[in-house]
Chains A and B, each alone.
Chain A
Amino acid sequence: MALKMVKGSIDRMFDKNLQDLVRGIRNHKEDEAKYISQCIDEIKQELKQDNIAVKANAVCKLTYLQMLGYDISWAAFNIIEVMSASKFTFKRVGYLAASQCFHEGTDVIMLTTNQIRKDLSSPSQYDTGVALTGLSCFVTPDLARDLASDIMTLMSHTKPYIRKKAVLIMYKVFLKYPESLRPAFPRLKEKLEDPDPGVQSAAVNVICELARRNPKNYLSLAPLFFKLMTSSTNNWVLIKIIKLFGALTPLEPRLGKKLIEPLTNLIHSTSAMSLLYECVNTVIAVLISLSSGMPNHSASIQLCVQKLRILIEDSDQNLKYLGLLAMSKILKTHPKSVQSHKDLVLQCLDDKDESIRLRALDLLYGMVSKKNLMEIVKKLMTHVDKAEGTTYRDELLTKIIDICSQSNYQHITNFEWYISILVELTRLEGTRHGHLIAAQMLDVAIRVKAIRKFAVSQMSALLDNAHLVASSTQRNGICEVLYAAAWICGEFSEHLQEPHQTLEAMLRPKVTTLPGHIQAVYVQNVVKLYASILQQQEQAAEAEAAQEVTQLMVERLPQFVQSADLEVQERASCILQLVKHVQKLQAKGVPMAEEVSALFAGELNPVAPKAQKKVPVPEGLDLDAWINEPPSDSESEDEKPKAIFHDEEPRHVRRRQPEEDEEELARRREARKQEQANNPFYIKSSPSPQKRYRDAPGVEHIPVVQIDLSVPLKVPGMPMSDQYVKLEEERRHRQRLEKDKKKKRKKEKDRKGKHRRHSSLPTESDEDIAPAQQVDIVTEEMPENALPSDEEDKDPNDPYRALDIDLDKPLADSEKLPVQKHRNTEVSKSPEKDEVPVVEKKSKKPKKKEKKPKEKEKKKERERKVEDLDFWLSTTPPPAATPVPSMQEELSVNTVTSPKDESEGPKREELEDEEDNTEHDQERKSSRHKKKKHKKEREEKEKKKAKRKQPEREHEQEEPVQNGAAEEEEEETLPPMSSYRLLAENSFIKMTYDIQASLQKDSQVTVSVILENQSGSFLKNMELSVLDSLNAKMARPEGSSVHAGVPVPFQLPPGVSNEAQFVFTVQSIIMAQKLKGTLSFIAKDDDGATHEKLDFRLHFSCSSYLITTPCYSDAFARLLESGDLSMSSIKVDGISMSFQNLLSKICFYHHFSVVERVDSCASMYSRSIQGHHVCLLLKKGESSVSVDGKCSDPTLLSSLLEEMKATLAQC
């Protein structure tokens, strides 16, 4: 053996190690690939050896090769082998390799589960550490589910090194297995206050990451984080927390108010730039969230802007960059305070650093006004000329367009200038944003009616010079503008100076080299142009010229008919036939112009991009319903192909048929219009009918702004935008003069004022400038009765959505991390997949019932949390000051009526329903009148409702899934159940309690006590002392004596209730027992304080040691057959309750799960925290119920049956 080892290590000496491999690769620069493939062969040999050291060495080399881009997934199994090595050195190699190359698709990954579990529980902290590190990189949903509870145990490990890693990896586990979030969250929260700073930082890290995605669920943690923020000195943690607050403030403006002061202090005091920067950022977020409510934070804004200016002026490029970044956030809400730093921003535009220039560009967006737009754009245009990289130039281009088009061209006073800028931009080579320019051209030409003539002249020039645009090698981008040019020239052809020339330009053979969709537009618009030329010539009675044009068309169109693009081909052949027909008629001397132009009558209006989506679904229309019943499978297989074949043929023929004559077309058009007019679902072009025939009278009624005549309307050749700057200056000057004159004449009506657009809030100087042209069509068209909802559709595939989970709800019994159980052999016999649904079906019903009371608790619980937060957020000390905020009062009212006794329950729920007007109000209408309350209170409720809307809605979304339809059926029959029992009560306080056991601790139970203040006094210094018995002891803080009480960690203002949890250790669980105890407290009211106490007896029933555990029926059968269990039975008479309800009651109160149910007979199973199996057979006769039980402990069984008897007796 020893010999073998030595031999192995001697062999190993001559294997290549990682260093040799790296060296070898460096020495084989010429034939690297060959050398590596040789090495891989060697590695394959090494992997075949038994020696784990050799394998580890091979895997180590593979990891290096993986980085160089070689696929090593074939070695996945070998990697797992190395992972399972006993030595840490090798194990680490294995885990590193796994973390580099394993992913969800790696099929052998499921083999690692047990190995990882073993490593996690290894006595060596580094084994555990390396496993956690590796797992963090390749965790899959399966691994997450199987290992969640192991990792959760590690979160309380004694070594901080393990704790911090375990805490951090939980985030990955949550992502892959969202169900684990709620069970694990309380412990995660605890870790926020871990004594070790590393663990604390890890917990902050995880919660911040969670909260970033779904901030609203973490609002209740705000007080805790606030405490951390004021106490922590770790900059990294501080930054995280401050960033988190930045995400929370938009949800809770009051939080912002509370934050401003400490943040401002930090800004003043910290020397770390990173911290300062994040503080500024969060203050900005706060200011944004407050901007609607409180405008009085100018001091804070000033402070931020000042600090940012210092950053921007810094010589460090990083700070400059970040300063600009933060500045752009302020810009959105407080543009004025940023505008004063325009000089700085413009300066940054000239910075040599591209990132900084880009950020400065972002800022420019908010800095333009009517006055300086031309100047700024001019500056940008010079940058465009200078720019080297295409990305930066493209960015400039989009920014220019953004700036100019923002808020409906608010800052543009002269659209001729803008069009010429756009045309200038077309000269850019290799830009990707041709479509953007095109879209702008189209948009301006359509919306600004006065500019059409000018636009058309420019566009025709563009078409004339199309070869310039399209000839460059990278023509794919910019040639998009030809699309716009062609359409504008076609659509507004009446403005063309020389239509014939444009027509020829559009029919050049070169056009066929353009992309298909552009050619298609060309073809379509050629006809429009043709129609207008025809009309002109016929009016001028030049029949011959008209025929010439037709001839030109007939000659040139075939080049498009041959196009490879289907769309072009189809349009061209259709139009060719049309033109040929026209030619025929023309030859007979028939005037055609009227009819041809009728083809293109009407005007196109911009339609909002969301318009289609906003069309409301008419009442009674079910979009998911079948229009025709789908044919059965057999039918479709046999007959469908044939039908398609038959259908296709005639369609094919039809296309070849000669086109209908004009009259027919016109008639059909008319008919279609008629139909559309009558069809209520058709999206009409506009609410006010703007459709008109071109030759119809009444064009005059469209408001067209007079164009200033000093501006030349026709610019020969390509325009130069610069000249407009000058012209515009002059125009403005003249305008001012005129205005002054008018003022002198004291004319009341300022005509320019009338022309001002309504949307903007221009600065004083802006007001003087009236635009030369106006945007006529301001709003896009929407369908009638468009739904106003503007909600952004959430991406259903967002992985973080699954983590949108309410964390304030108390845990339900069903929410547990899966714990590895010893599987009986018989369980493994039945395939899991088959079983799962069975079990689910069985346990579903009782679970649903459980939900109902739980839900109430949840509601209550949530209210309490909200209240806690409110409590913290309201700056006034709550008890002393009488004017408690109304919100809080309202909340307390609700908590008072919270469901202690069961009869109160439905009432309260009803109240909720009334408020919300949502679901199931139908059954309870009868009792509604009782609930009329004071108007005032109601109003307050409204307020609260509005505030709570968000969580409520989320709740509703969840509910249908959880509760299903089954609940509604049985809701009336079964009274709500609550596991909370009355503990003790006097005039001051009422205590209810529930005992929860957990599988993790076999001798511990948690007692949750709800303390409800029933008096008008303020209760404080509450302390719970319990007389320990031999068997059960209360867990007390370390160092305190056996008889000391445990303080309740909160105080109770009047009418408020809260929940405290106490842990008890229990040795034997086979007998029920009672513990005597006392709650002592000080009640303080206006008259003074009195010392009070309340005695109680805490009843630990045997049922409370049971944990609802599902059991498969075959495993259950084996258990019964095994003969290890002792048996006992009871019988209870006089039971009227339905069997279903009976079952659910037992399931709920005694923590059983149903294994199988046949008619009125059911088998049930449960397990105690110490692992006793309890099996029940429940049979219902006419009016009696018999319960047969089998259990591993006879005493436990008899105690349980006694308890069950008591429960059944109440039924």
Chain B
Amino acid sequence: MIKGILIFNNHRKPWLSKFYQPYSVDKQQQIIRETLHLVFKRDENVCNFLEGGSLIGGFDNKLIYRHYATLYFVFCVDSSGSELGILDLIQGFVETLDKCFENVCELDLIFHVDKVHNILAEMVMGGMVLETNMNETVTQTDAQKKLEKSEAGLAGAPARAVSAVKNMNLPEIPRNISIGDISIKVPNLPSFK
């Protein structure tokens, strides 16, 4: 079971948090802080597993994380999860994001956290892995995107136009900061088919 998922950047800014167990808002923030603290304490080139201790639910749990360019992806799992399997899952998640956002960058995650949630929901449901096949996830996400567009129809057009104008007014947003090495693969870890 996955207990929680966190995404944050190098500046300790959380961009997404998803908990599969109910916690109060304060407790959630406390967990986020603690996780940040634990992960940032670690050097580069050390193993990606972390025994959290007091974190979500006690000794049975582990933090498994990956660092891509400016982003950290942290999964908190209990002992039923295979460590290497979860690493592959994170890789799959990032690759799916990359496909859905067409060359994903941090800004995509910042401004479209709802979409990231929706993509995540196609992979992990209620803390259990729903789908490991990347193509399937992408297909379903695209189909939902289409449905959304058709629903917006005419009424959605003005809103889209306005938001396009708003974005135009803000030239400081660099659109093309790509994570670049997002598709780094850990040697010896062929991902799931």
Contacts and interface: CB of A to CB of B under 8 A. Distances in A.
B46 A198 contact: no
Given A202-B130, A317-B47, A318-B47, A88 B147 contact: yes
Nearest to A93: B114
Contacts of A22: 110-111, 113
A358 B51 contact: yes
Q: Is the interface of A mostly helix, strand, loop or mixed?
A: helix
Contacts of A933: none
B132 A96 contact: no
Interface residues of B, number: 70
B162 to A, nearest CB: 4
Interface in A257-272: 271-272
A271 B22 CA distance: 38
A356 interface: yes
A205 B81 CA distance: 10
Interface residues on A, range: 35 or more
Contacts of B143: 126
A172 B127 CA distance: 10
A235 to B, nearest CB: 5
A236 B132 contact: yes
B16 A67 contact: yes
Interface in B1-49: 1, 14, 16-18, 20, 22, 25-26, 28-29, 41-43, 45-49
B85 A274 contact: yes
A5 B128 contact: no
Contacts of A391: 53
A352 B148 contact: no
Interface stretch (A6-14, A691-699, A746-754): A6-14
Interface in A88-127: 88-89, 92-93, 96, 100-101, 103-104, 124, 126
A225 interface: no
A67 B114 CA distance: 11
Given A70-B25, A243-B82, A358-B51, A198 B133 contact: yes
B126 interface: yes
A50 B145 CA distance: 25
A353 B28 CA distance: 28
Nearest to B41: A389
B190 A168 contact: no
A60 B118 CA distance: 12
A815 interface: no
Contacts of A354: 42, 46
Contacts of A319: 188
A727 B127 CA distance: 58
A600 interface: no
A67 B113 contact: yes
B47 A353 contact: yes
A169 interface: yes
B100 interface: no
A198 B114 contact: no
Nearest to A26: B110
Interface stretch (B69-77, B152-160, B176-184): B152-160
Contact of A88 (B117, B129, B144): B144
B50 interface: yes
A1112 interface: no
Contact of B83 (A6, A272, A322, A358): A322
A136 B125 contact: yes
Interface string B162-187: 11001100100000000000000011
B22 A278 contact: no
A93 B114 CA distance: 8
A1199 to B, nearest CB: 48
B62 to A, nearest CB: 10
Interface string B106-134: 00001111100110010001111111110
A317 B45 contact: yes
A168 B125 contact: yes
Contacts of B51: 355, 358
A325 B136 CA distance: 34
Given A89-B148, A164-B130, A198-B133, A355 B22 contact: no
A69 to B, nearest CB: 4
Nearest to B157: A9
A87 B148 CA distance: 8
A103 B22 contact: yes
Contacts of A915: none
A43 to B, nearest CB: 15
A271 B80 CA distance: 22
B47 A169 contact: no
Contact of B84 (A13, A205, A206, A277): A277
Contacts of A64: 113-114
Given A69-B29, A318-B87, A168 B126 contact: yes
B71 to A, nearest CB: 15
A209 interface: yes
Contact of B170 (A23, A164, A389): A23
A356 B151 contact: no
B159 A318 contact: no
Contacts of B1: 209
A10 B188 CA distance: 55
A60 B148 CA distance: 15
A931 to B, nearest CB: 47
B59 interface: no
Nearest to A23: B170
A316 interface: yes
Interface in A124-150: 124, 126, 130, 132-133, 136-139
Given A18-B114, A278-B82, A318 B48 contact: yes
Given A103-B22, A169-B125, A209-B80, A274 B189 contact: yes
B118 A164 contact: no
A136 B129 CA distance: 12
A814 B41 CA distance: 56
Interface string A307-338: 00000001011111110000000000000000
Contacts of B148: 88-89
A178 to B, nearest CB: 17
Contact of A316 (B18, B111, B128, B187): B187
Interface in A750-786: none
Contact of B190 (A18, A20, A206, A271): A271
Interface in A231-254: 233-236, 239, 243
A787 interface: no
A364 interface: no
B192 interface: yes
B82 to A, nearest CB: 5
Contacts of A103: 22
A236 B136 contact: no
Contact of A212 (B80, B127, B163): B80
A198 B136 contact: yes
A19 B131 CA distance: 29
Contacts of B131: 164, 198, 201
B125 A132 contact: yes
B119 to A, nearest CB: 12
Nearest to A9: B155
Interface in A269-314: 271-274, 277-278, 314
Contacts of B128: 168, 171, 202, 205-206, 209
Given A23-B170, A316-B186, 14 more contacts: A19-B163, A22-B110, A67-B17, A69-B26, A71-B25, A92-B144, A93-B114, A136-B127, A197-B133, A198-B133, A236-B129, A243-B80, A273-B188, A318-B83
Interface of B: 1, 14, 16-18, 20, 22, 25-26, 28-29, 41-43, 45-51, 53, 80, 82-85, 87-88, 110-114, 117-118, 121, 125-133, 136, 140, 143-144, 147-148, 151-152, 155-156, 158-159, 162-163, 166-167, 170, 186-190, 192-193
Closest 8 CB pairs of A and B: A136-B126, A274-B84, A103-B22, A317-B47, A353-B46, A321-B47, A69-B29, A13-B162
12 contacts: A69-B26, A96-B114, A96-B117, A124-B147, A198-B130, A202-B130, A235-B85, A235-B193, A243-B82, A272-B192, A273-B84, A277-B84
